[in-house]
């Protein structure tokens, strides 16, 4: 379902749309519930018939046959309850899984900017705990509503045929109950939404603390982390207490109402017996039906709590699904094919926040196959510039072209498929070495993976690992050294073999000997390809055809190393400073 559909539809309609692919299971669930409901409605009538006709007329054989038939019906009811419990919950789980699938797929469409502004733990909470209640809501919601309405209406129709005056008294009490359910449900819904928000906050705090536990241990700040967690946990306890208060008031009110119904039956029924308008057998039948009348009301109470929890999660799901990706393919966007690697930036402006420009009027022509080194002081905009070329962020002014095609006019997938990026912050998935390298091209053969590992100077290290290519690397590659992680990420790029390379301090985690080996491999890979090297260490840019110096969001200098040294500007100052520092060691 597209984002526009979520924006234009009600939450209930969105929820019900997930029932359609599983309508057979849903129909089976409701059919079984209907059969159970009819059996429950039949028993009081069977009892009344036995008391009025079979036992007074001494038709004992018919009486026992009728009771035997009821035993068979209740055996059937047990089978039906199994179907409802198993297949009904299976239906609910499938609905939940479909919702989670769509949510994850939508999260994949959102840009870097969205993830910059939202904590990972909050998003994880929306993918997991927020959707747990939907299984119960999808299964029990329609089923309980259907059976409750059918049971109440069926019981009232039968009771009106027995004694309309007493039935009318019971009927008039139902709107009171319904009003109570609606009122308390709204209050529970607000409290449940608050609980889910606090739960998401706790998840975000836990995710942050667990991700940074090495830092907290290094600074001996475990007590501070515990205090931060305890603060969030206390807020959660308060919100949960408020929810349980609302739930307690709700259930207490419902218990009083449902219990008082029996008193009403005995009181009004007793009065009618005194008047000769009713006998004891009818009041017994009424009492049995009141029991069946009370059960749906109890279900409605549970359903109200379920709705409060389920729709609180659905609201948070819908909130994300209504979020438009700020970077989208334009209608009719074409795939970028046969890329030569020519890149052109024309008067590019960019800012993360409107009042803080990061790049200002940047223009740059990069020829196909040219190697460009992007250098400059920290915070000058080097990495940002290279993140705009794959369109990770949308420029706020100007244009960027790849092979004379505006990157906004081509599909994001085809653009990024032709760009290989080795980032400064290496990320490895919690999987094997093989799968982390193969991530560069999932359909690659084992021979191609081995060749990429050799070119990245990581093959020998892999062969010394306990399981070779099947070695598990741990969370974010924690079981590997920094250099090994970096070289595995470089192997991905060798495997992807793209026409455009962006190397964001790609050798920053390597020792000097390994760096030299990798640099030779990069020099080989860069032949015939457009390469942008973001570098702080000027020793890594010896192969660059041209150096571009960015400072304060502007291109201040560009040219060969010799040309920039002759200019005696910012680059020359950086060059002399680094040579001076390195000369001290």
Which 3 state secondary structure label does DSSP give 102? helix
pLDDT value, residue 24: 92
Q: How far is CA 202 from CA 104, 120, 197, 208, 308, in A?
A: 21, 12, 9, 10, 21
* Distance, CA of 34 to CA of 365 (rounded, Å): 72
Beta bridge partners of 350: 359
Report in angstroms the alpha-carbon separations of 335 from 117, 180, 398, 501: 30, 58, 22, 19
How many other β-carbons are positioned within 10 Å of the β-carbon of residue 60?
10
If DSSP codes are grouped into helix, strand and coil, which group holds residue 179? helix
Q: What is the pLDDT of residue 581?
A: 46
pLDDT in tens, 244-303: 887 787 777 777 777 777 788 888 888 888 888 888 778 877 877 777 777 777 777 677
Q: What tokens does 516 get?
A: 């030299």
Q: Chain-centre distance of CA 288, in angstroms?
A: 47
| Structural domains in the chain, sorted by start | 3-321 (1.20.1560.10)
Q: Which two tokens stand for residue 50?
A: 């036995």
Terminal Cα-to-Cα distance of the chain (whole angstroms): 61
Q: Return the DSSP state at 560.
A: -
Distances (CA, A) of 94 to 36, 88, 144, 454: 24, 10, 19, 44
Q: For residue 585, what pLDDT is reported?
A: 32
Residues 6+ apart with CB under 8 A from 516: none
Are 564 and 549 in contact by the 8 Å Cβ rule? The answer is yes
Question: How many CB atoms within 10 Å of residue 190?
Answer: 14
Our separate counts of H helices and E strands in the chain read 20, 10
Q: How many residues does the chain have?
A: 585
Residue partners of 545: CB distance under 8 A and separation at least 6:
370, 371, 372, 560
| b/e burial code for range 111-140 (CB count within 10 A of at least 16 → b) | beebeeebbebbbbbbeeebbebbbbbbbb
Nearest-10 crossing angle of helices 280-321, 164-211: 30
In three-state secondary structure terms, 533 is strand
Q: Are strands 397-402 and 405-406 parallel, antiparallel or unpaired?
A: antiparallel
Residue ranges in the chain whose pLDDT is less than 70: 1-5, 121, 177-178, 181-182, 185-186, 189, 193, 196, 200, 203-204, 207-221, 239, 301, 305, 506-512, 514-515, 517-518, 521, 524, 539-540, 578-585
| Separation of alpha carbons 154 and 149, rounded Å | 8
Contacts of residue 316, Cβ cutoff 8 Å, sequence gap at least 6: 126, 130, 193, 196, 200
Beta-strand (E) ranges in 327-438?
Answer: 343-353, 356-366, 371-375, 397-402, 405-406, 419-422
Residue 310 CB coordination number (10 Å): 25
DSSP of 452-505, one letter per residue? HHHHTT-HHHHHHSTTGGG-B--GGGTTS-HHHHHHHHHHHHHHH--SEEEEES
Degrees (nearest 5) of the Cα angle 484, 487, 492?
130
Sheet holding 343-353, edge to edge: 356-366, 343-353, 397-402, 405-406
Model confidence pTM above 0.75: no
Give every strand in the sheet of 500-504, ordered side by side: 419-422, 500-504, 530-534, 371-375, 546-551, 554-559
Give yes or no for a contact between 518 and 456, defined as CB atoms under 8 angstroms apart: yes
402 three-state secondary structure: strand
Nearest alpha-carbon partner for 372 in 570, 509, 526, 551: 526
- For residue range 546-577, list pLDDT tens digits in order: 999 888 888 888 888 888 888 888 888 887 77
């Amino acid at each position: 379902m597209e984002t526009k559909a979520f924006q234009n539809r009600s939450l209930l309609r969105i929820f019900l749309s997930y029932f359609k692919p599983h309508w057979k299971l849903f129909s089976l669930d409701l059919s079984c519930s209907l059969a159970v409901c009819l059996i429950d409605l039949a028993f009081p009538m069977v009892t009344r018939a036995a008391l009025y006709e079979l036992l007074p007329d001494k038709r004992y054989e018919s009486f026992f046959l009728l009771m035997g038939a009821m035993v068979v019906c209740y055996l059937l009811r047990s089978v039906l309850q199994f179907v409802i419990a198993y297949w009904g919950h299976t239906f609910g789980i499938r609905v939940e899984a479909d919702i989670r699938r769509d949510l994850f797929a939508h999260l994949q469409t959102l840009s870097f900017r969205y993830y910059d502004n939202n904590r990972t733990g909050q998003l994880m909470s929306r993918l997991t705990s927020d959707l747990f209640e939907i299984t119960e809501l999808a299964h029990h919601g329609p089923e309980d509503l259907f059976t409750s309405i059918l049971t109440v209406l069926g019981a009232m129709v039968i009771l009106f045929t027995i004694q309309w005056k007493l039935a009318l008294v019971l009927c008039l009490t139902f709107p009171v109950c319904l009003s109570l359910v609606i009122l308390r449900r709204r209050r529970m819904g607000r409290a449940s939404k608050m609980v889910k928000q606090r739960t998401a906050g706790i998840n975000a705090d836990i995710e942050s603390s667990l991700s940074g536990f090495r830092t907290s241990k290094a600074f001996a700040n475990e007590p501070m982390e515990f205090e931060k967690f305890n603060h969030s946990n206390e807020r959660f306890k308060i919100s949960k207490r408020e929810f349980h208060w609302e739930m307690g008031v709700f259930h207490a009110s419902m218990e009083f109402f449902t219990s008082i119904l029996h008193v009403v039956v005995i009181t009004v029924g007793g009065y009618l017996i005194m008047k000769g308008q009713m006998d004891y057998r009818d009041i017994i039948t009424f009492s049995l039906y009141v029991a069946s009348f009370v059960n749906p009301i109890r279900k409605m109470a549970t359903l109200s709590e379920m709705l409060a929890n389920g729709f609180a999660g659905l609201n948070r799901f819908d909130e994300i699904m209504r979020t438009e990706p700020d970077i989208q393919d334009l209608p009719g966007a074409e795939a970028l094919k046969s890329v030569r690697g020519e890149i052109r930036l024309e008067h590019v402006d960019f800012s993360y926040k409107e009042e803080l420009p990061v790049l200002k009027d940047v223009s740059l022509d990069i020829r196909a196959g040219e190697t460009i080194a992007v250098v400059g002081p920290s915070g000058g905009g080097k990495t940002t510039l290279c993140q705009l070329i794959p369109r990770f962020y949308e420029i706020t002014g100007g244009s960027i072209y790849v092979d004379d095609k505006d990157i906004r006019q081509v599909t994001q997938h085809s653009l990024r498929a032709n760009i290989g990026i080795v980032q400064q912050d290496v990320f490895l998935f919690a999987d094997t070495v093989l799968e982390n390298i193969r991530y560069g091209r999932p359909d690659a053969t084992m021979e191609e993976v081995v060749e990429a590992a050799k070119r990245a100077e990581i093959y020998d290290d892999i062969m010394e690992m306990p399981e070779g290519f099947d070695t598990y690397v741990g969370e974010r590659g924690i079981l590997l050294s920094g250099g090994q992680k970096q070289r595995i990420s470089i192997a991905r790029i060798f495997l992807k073999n793209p026409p455009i390379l962006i190397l964001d301090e790609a050798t920053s985690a390597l020792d000097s000997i390994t760096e030299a080996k990798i640099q030779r491999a990069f020099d080989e890979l860069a032949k015939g390809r457009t390469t942008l090297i973001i570098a702080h260490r000027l020793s890594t840019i010896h192969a660059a055809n041209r150096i571009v110096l960015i400072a304060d969001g502007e291109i201040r200098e560009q040219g060969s190393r010799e040309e920039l040294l002759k200019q005696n500007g910012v680059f020359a100052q950086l060059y002399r400073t680094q040579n001076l520092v390195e000369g001290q060691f």
